[in-house]
Structure 1
Amino acid sequence: MTPVSDTTRGDVMPRRRVLQLLGAAAGCLLVPQSVASGADAGILRHEWTGTALGAVANITLFHPDPAEARSIIGACLTEIDRLESEFSLFRPGSALCRLNRDGELLRPSLDMRRLLTEAARFGDLSDGRFDVTVQPLWRLLATHREAGTVPRREDLRAALALIDYHRIEITSRRIRFGQPGMGVTLNGIAQGYVTDRVAELLRARGIEHVLLDLGEMRALGPKPDGRPWRIGVRDPGKSDHVLREFDVINRAVATSAGSADLNILDPRKGKGGALYSSVTVVIGSATAADALSTALCLTPQDEVEVLVAKVGPATVLLAGNDWIRLVEHGPGIH
């Protein structure tokens, strides 16, 4: 699998992905490869590589029937496209773009309600470090960075005044902002949510051996031979250096890197505030991995274990310029 490079589209906040599947070559559209021999003989590996949510994406699954594998991956791509039409900031007609434009969204989908509710939960768990209403601040800072200027204090204060996820009303009838000018970005959680939904689709189809990389990674089951999927975390500053390897079965892995000043914004301070060069989370769901890795980028080391314990069993890798720290809560993942 080829590493995912930085991707910037429209108002999407870029976050460098530093995960890679070790021991695997880059895939292409549905190239079946035989599993060696023994009990797994006849099972074929099928890979699809393309783009999803503005980033390089990959689906690797094992299935004995190429035609059925094509059908299954086609269903996955349809689901990804459907969810992009909900959460994308670079599709003008998406539900999220309409919400940001109009300040309300009538008859919102169950997916949008679920995701915003989950985002609010992580906002509460992280004491506001994770806040999806940071979009007006990002837009202001990005505009001035492109122009080579510095925002005025009054403009910065005005943008900060629009940040508060508690002021999003979420009901089955509508989603509405509590103040004109508010805006939402789901960049720190949507890729994880999409990954989980596709994983649910695959599980419902009976797929037992699959690795998804849709910006975040999630493994369903082990490889057909029973071995785990091995995920390497690359050093953001040294692409040829692997900081740590994790063996993953039925877990998700997400990394947030704060190497650029607008990658991770502190919604309370109005500026880039990442405390680490990267944060990697291994946990049961990709949604949680995505949101938690974002929130932890702004969490001081003496508070990391407290936040991780609130979310559930997880392994966290914090990386600085010349150090790493492993934090485990619950059963360890190696």
Structure 2
Amino acid sequence: MKRRTFLAASMGVLAGAGGGAAANGARLYTDAAQAFGTTVTVTVVHTDGAAAQAAMSAALHEAQSVDRLMSIYHTASQVYQLNRDGVLRAPDARLLLVLAQARALSQMTDGAFDVTVQPLWLAYAEAAQRGALPDAAALRQARALVGWRQLAFRRAEVRFLQPGMALTLNGLAQGYAADLALAALRRHGIRNALLDTGEFAASGAKPSGTPWTLGIRDPRDAQACTDILLARDRCIATSGDYESVFTQDRVHHHILDPERGDSPPELASATVLAPSALLADGLSTAFMVMGEKKAHALAGRLPGIDLLTVDKQGHARRTAGFAAAAGRA
């Protein structure tokens, strides 16, 4: 499945090592690596190039380690092994942490977020290879294998309670990778940085002291932005109906409602600002499934969460905090 990278860094944000220096000699340094089927980038502000490189290398290592652990495609990953065998013994502590977060999100969203939705995605993906949609029998079979309560985990093992189940952490892993990468930067003394793992984590500011600037893609125009955010110490994730589609009309796409057995019909995109990239990542998926009214109601009850939704007719709705970050307040 293509990962949903819908936030575009605005012009001048990722200026690289040749970027202008501040009065104290601090400047931008950038490095990149491959993970999650895309290019992961890290940009830091520092006065010392060697120290910046060491910090960025550590951050990229953390991101790649999450990919190796949680990929549904890499045969050595623990998620791949769980999907293949139905049970995983001696799970990595990081996997257990993400599964616990997934369970909390499922509870919080009344099942709109569900990491066991993978059988449904496979049904659509297999049908799409034939230029079709899954028939009613295939959907019934897939939906019977979806249910977050049927995933059991403890320190010793992770297990599906029903044969044939499978999970995907594509709605959490890249956010978690951004969180771990940012923690690695901070261990190296970096306080001003921008991370892009497919989800964004912004810390501090650019050498000039101005916040990092991120453009939020218009879901119907890849060359346009709905908003330009000033992001300081916030994490940002967008989910949308346009990156990986099963039908060209975007009615059927990679985000699937576990209850309906199909893609949610109302929203074209949902962008979340949150204290952690993992939370932003998971909530952006859940809010797509929940639709505008329920998503904004839940966002209003969660501390530190702001939300932009754009429906399929192009109508945008922003929480007050999101509007303020976009200069619309």
Quote the Cα distance in structure 2 between the aligned partners of 1:107 and 1:310: 36
Residues 283 and 328 (structure 1 numbering): CA distance in 2 closer, same or farther, change over 3 Å?
Answer: farther
Residue of 294, 301, 322 corresponding to 2:314: 322
Contact 2:195/2:202, CA 8 A, preserved across alignment: yes
Moved more, 54-63 or 101-110: 54-63
Alignment of 1:110-121 (within 5 A): 110-121=93-104
Give 2:37's aligned residue. 54
1:293 aligns with 2:281: no
Give 1:7's aligned residue. none
Quote the Cα distance in structure 1 between the aligned partners of 2:215 and 2:255: 22
Residue of 175, 199, 205 corresponding to 1:216: 199
Quote the Cα distance in structure 2 between the aligned partners of 1:244 and 1:149: 36
Give 1:238's aligned residue. 221
TM-score, normalised to structure 2, is 0.91
Shift of 1:330: 9.8
Contact 1:228/1:248, CA 8 A, preserved across alignment: yes
Quote the Cα distance in structure 2 between the aligned partners of 1:51 and 1:287: 19
Shift of 1:147: 1.1
> Cα RMSD over matched residues?
1.9
1:149-168 deviation per Cα after TM superposition (whole angstroms, max 9, x unaligned) = 34332321121111111111
Shift of 1:317: 0.8
Counterpart of 2:290 in structure 1: which amino acid?
T
Residues 34 and 207 (structure 1 numbering): CA distance in 2 closer, same or farther, change over 3 Å?
Answer: same
Alignment of 1:241-280 (within 5 A): 241-259=224-242, 260=245, 261-280=252-271
Structure 2, unmatched stretches of 5+, are: 246-251
1:223-268 deviation per Cα after TM superposition (whole angstroms, max 9, x unaligned) = 2332111111121221222111111111001111113322211111
Quote the Cα distance in structure 2 between the aligned partners of 1:188 and 1:213: 15
Quote the Cα distance in structure 1 between the aligned partners of 2:214 and 2:265: 23
Quote the Cα distance in structure 2 between the aligned partners of 1:222 and 1:155: 50
Residues 328 and 180 (structure 1 numbering): CA distance in 2 closer, same or farther, change over 3 Å?
Answer: farther
Residues 155 and 35 (structure 1 numbering): CA distance in 2 closer, same or farther, change over 3 Å?
Answer: same
Alignment of 1:75-224 (within 5 A): 75-224=58-207
Other structure's SS at 2:319 match: strand
Counterpart of 2:18 in structure 1: which amino acid?
Q
Shift of 1:59: 0.7
Give 1:303's aligned residue. 294
Counterpart of 1:287 in structure 2: which amino acid?
L
Shift of 1:292: 0.6
Contact 1:265/1:274, CA 8 A, preserved across alignment: no
Give 1:72's aligned residue. 55
Moved more, 47-56 or 202-211: 47-56
Other structure's SS at 2:45 match: strand
Counterpart of 1:315 in structure 2: which amino acid?
D
Give 2:10's aligned residue. 22
Quote the Cα distance in structure 1 between the aligned partners of 2:175 and 2:121: 21
Shift of 1:332: 5.0
Contact 2:255/2:263, CA 8 A, preserved across alignment: yes
Residues 33 and 133 (structure 1 numbering): CA distance in 2 closer, same or farther, change over 3 Å?
Answer: same
1:184-239 deviation per Cα after TM superposition (whole angstroms, max 9, x unaligned) = 00111111011101111111211011000100000111223321111111212212
**Percent identity between the two aligned chains:** 32
Quote the Cα distance in structure 2 between the aligned partners of 1:305 and 1:26: 32
1:286-329 deviation per Cα after TM superposition (whole angstroms, max 9, x unaligned) = 01111111011112322122221343222211113332111246
Quote the Cα distance in structure 2 between the aligned partners of 1:85 and 1:19: 24
Counterpart of 2:193 in structure 1: which amino acid?
V
Residues 187 and 314 (structure 1 numbering): CA distance in 2 closer, same or farther, change over 3 Å?
Answer: same
Quote the Cα distance in structure 2 between the aligned partners of 1:329 and 1:240: 25
Moved more, 42-51 or 243-252: 42-51
Contact 1:17/1:257, CA 8 A, preserved across alignment: no
Moved more, 59-68 or 99-108: 59-68
Quote the Cα distance in structure 1 between the aligned partners of 2:21 and 2:270: 36
TM-score, normalised to structure 1, is 0.89
Shift of 1:15: 4.5
Aligned length: 317
Shift of 1:43: 1.5
